[in-house]
Structure 1
Amino acid sequence: MTIIPNLRVLAPFTLLLLCGATFAGVIEQKVLDEGGSGTYKAIAATQESLPGYVVYRPVNLAQAVKAEGPLPAIVFANGGCNDTSFPFERMLSEIASHGYLVIALGAMQRRLDDRQLEKADNAMMIRAVDWLAIQSASEQSEFHHKVALDRIASAGQSCGGAQVLATASEPRFTTYLMFNSGIGDMTMAEASRRSLSDLHAPILYLLGGETDVATANAQLDYQRIEHVPVVFANHLTAGHSGTFEQAYGGSFAALALMWLDWHLKDRKQFKSVFAEHKPEAFPDWELKAKSVASHVLP
């Protein structure tokens, strides 16, 4: 039996998606957590001009840009260095709903087993930034003048964090986020402890406690980084999988958003969370920081 939903009780955004609405340049899309908790309902999209990636973005770019100005961006590399952001899509959609563009490595999946996974190349990180620049410059693109090219974060989970470090010298990255990741004395994805010297902007580590296999390596990174501001945020019980499967990405997404809002949107009210170790809304987290209290955004 086919169940027909009562369209009168559905939220307008859900109704729009059910009716098969399409958006300029989007050839495939899906919605997570009703588009996120932010002001700008978001979709996960396959953009015609960027095959092999997922773009998590506000549906109505014009509305978001009118309110926020050009949108900051995040390039995201996945756990296992895999070519899928499926395990992290709730967090990435949530971030997008707050007025960001998130470019994740790997084509869209409906299920984690709907295709064979491959390893994403480090060069995909740089190609994502190139795409943003091209789209922002093109009068034919819906992203024309809608991207804040001077505010781009590089982020990754687990092995994806190694890809962040491997490409850390890219000058267009203005902050870094390492989810359940640290290089320590390993070599992974062409990154090693020497890659830490390539960091040229503030970096946030988000770990999952003693059961997170990345915690010890991240601790070593924290000890070794002296030339840029660094924060070590540790969720005591989350483990290596973080809170990514929770609605809206859980507290990993919420804390990351505060960092992004501070560094990419200059919302200074969030500085104290990291500089003064005051995550009042995050009782499961412990934070420590170096060179953060005196850091002034460019």
Structure 2
Amino acid sequence: MRSNDSRASRSAALVAAVALVATTGALIGAQSASAAAGCRVDYSVGSQWPGGFNATVVVTNLGDPVNGWRLSWAFAGDERITQSWNGSHTQSGAQVTAVNAAWNGAIATGATVSFGFNGTSGAGPTTPSSFALNGTVCTGSTTTTTTTSTTSSTTTTTTTTTTTPQPSRPMVENNFPVTREGAYGDNRFTVFRPSNPQAIDRPLPVLAFGNGACAHTNNSEVTRALTFIASKGFVVVDTGSVDGSPNGVPSGSPIPSLLTDAITWAEREQNRSGAVLRQRLDLGKVATAGHSCGGLEAMVAAQDRRVSGVVSLNSGFFADGSFGYPRSEVGKLHTPAMFMDGGPSDIAYANNQATYDLATVPAVLARQPEAGHGGFIGGSQLTDGMTTVVQFLDMVLNGNQTARAYILSPSGLAAKAPWVVASKNF
């Protein structure tokens, strides 16, 4: 009996040992992987007119980095998209799918991408109730999925962490140190940028700027103004070599292609190995601006589909089509625009007013009667003028509501004497 008991005890021990090894092996073989997905969408109708409207969509990625985006939604009414930019779209009935352009497919965690479109609507546009980014419904929170695998089974655990959206900080509140440098590989341009773009938590919008008198070699007149704009979180690419040396470009007449070339330079820099701006630019948020003759360059260059906003400083198209660009060019604008002048003493006063009057896009007329022709660029109105530029661009490119109130509310810029402000189509 003792012999049988001993054999039974050894068998039981062996079975237990095998079970222990199997269990341990399963635990050792366990693997887990986590992925976080989440997004927020800010949809705004910038302007509307009988039978049509203009809208901007800003997507914030709250989850892991995205490489290639697809945003889908359904219109509630009879809206139909007729034209889009900073992305492409397809529409079947009420269902819409928008996909990234070649330059704005990557969205880092916490970063944003924006695109816009014109549409038709007989009943008037409404805000879609739901959006999905790459199949994930955008709720303003993140969902973390953890998968644990063993040799015998797979367990999937899903947890949801709610992220409370924080109000967007207006760009005008930033005050980054600025570096002014020649554009890499192209001495037609000077770059004004935050000195340490890697330390900024969001990609930087791009502004292509044209100088007064269409000065294409020397930008010393606008250095203070553009340094101010860059300190708020923009990368400004300005015409002119960094030291004022000849760069093969004649001055005195508009060359709008210089500004579109400046945007192309930014696209190359976004992907150049070793560039300080590599993957730090938001190429879905591009604007043009310019002073006087440079304002003509900015308005013509703004016809480029990569552009989402334009600012004309002390400029405007001439009634006689001087410089080769008649006032009919205004009808080619497809983005919101701001037209600034310095009052009756500004030589561009009448042209600026006429250009604003002809605009069919969402438009702002901002007039400071004490600024004259050069006050915004180099006079005592520089800070006030450049603050207005930054607020307008923050409103248009980022959909910032604080900036929108500053530009459009009666208690904003219009309440600051002696400013006179008008707007339409917003």
TM-score range (shorter-chain normalised) is 0.7 to 0.9
Which residue is equivalent to 1:250? Answer: 383
Deviates more, 1:241-250 or 1:204-213: 241-250
**Conserved? CA contact 1:157–1:180, under 8 Å:** yes
Query: Structure 1 residues 176-185 or 188-197, which shifts more?
Result: 188-197
Q: CA deviation at 1:62?
A: 0.6
Tell me the distance in 1 between the aligned counterparts of 2:302 and 2:387: 24
Tell me, yes or no, if the aligned pair for 1:180 and 1:242 is still in contact at 8 Å: no
In structure 2, distance between residues paired with 1:48 and 1:74: 17
Give the Cα separation in 1 of the matches to 2:293 and 2:183.
Answer: 25
Displacement after TM superposition at 1:270 (Å): 1.6
- Cα distance in 2, alignment partners of residues 280 and 118 from structure 1: 36
Structure-2 change in CA distance of 1:108 and 1:87 (3 Å): same
Q: 1:40-62 CA deviation, whole Å, 9 max, x = no partner?
A: 10122113323121101111111
- CA 1:247–1:62 in 2, change beyond 3 Å: closer, same or farther? farther
Structure-1 residue corresponding to 2:282: 148
Q: 1:280–1:161: structure 2 CA closer, same or farther, 3 Å change rule?
A: closer
Select the residue among 301, 311, 332 that pairs with 1:198: 332
Alignment correspondent of 2:168: none
Per-residue Cα deviation, 1:19-42 (whole angstroms, up to 9, x for no partner): xxxxxxxxxxxxxxxxx9943101
**Alignment length, in residue pairs?**
249
1:215-270 deviations in Å (ceiling 9; x for gaps): 111111111112x1010000011100123224793211111111122122321112
Please give the alpha-carbon distance, in whole angstroms, between the structure 2 residues aligned to 1:282 and 1:85: 30
Contact kept? 1:168, 1:195, Cα under 8 Å: no
The 1:167–1:44 alpha-carbon spacing in structure 2 relative to 1, beyond 3 Å, is: same
CA distance in 1, matches of 2:267, 2:355: 31
- Give the structure 1 partner of residue 178 of structure 2: 42
1:254-273 equivalent positions in 2, closer than 5 A: 254-273=387-406
231, 237, 244: which is aligned to 1:103? 237
- Does the 8 Å contact 1:151/1:174 carry over to 2? yes
Map 1:59-208 onto structure 2 (within 5 A).
59-64=195-200, 67=201, 69-83=202-216, 84-109=218-243, 118-119=251-252, 121-208=255-342
Distance in 2 (alpha carbons) for counterparts of 1:189 and 1:134 = 30
**Selected match of 1:211 from 345, 367, 374:** 345
Which structure is higher in strand share?
2
Change (3 A) 1:82 1:287: same
Question: Is contact 2:213-2:251 (8 Å) kept?
Answer: no
Q: Conserved in 2, the CA contact under 8 Å of 1:94 and 1:248?
A: no
Q: In 1, Cα distance between the equivalents of 2:415 and 2:242?
A: 33
Opposite residue 276 of structure 1, the aligned amino acid is S
What is the CA distance between 1:157 and its match in structure 2? 0.6
State the superposition RMSD in angstroms.
Answer: 2.3
Partner of 1:235: 368
Query: How far is 1:187 from its partner?
Result: 2.2
Q: For 2:345, give the aligned amino acid.
A: T
Corresponding residue SS for 1:243: helix
Query: Following the alignment from structure 1 to structure 2, what is the Cα–Cα distance between the partners of residues 245 and 117?
Result: 23
Gaps of 5+ in 1: 1-35, 293-298
Q: Contact between 1:90 and 1:247, CA under 8 Å: does it hold in 2?
A: no
- 3-state SS in 2 of match to 1:244: helix
The gaps in structure 2 that reach 5 residues or longer are 1-171
Bigger Rg, which one: 2
* Farther off after superposition, 125-134 or 44-53: 44-53
Residue 27 of structure 1 is matched in structure 2 by none
Q: Which letter maps to 1:271?
A: R
Structure 1: distance between partners of 2:322 and 2:277: 34
Match of 1:4 in 2: none
Asked if the contact 1:56–1:102 (Cα under 8 Å) also holds between the matched residues in 2, the reply is yes
Between the aligned partners of 1:288 and 1:218, the Cα distance in structure 2 is 13
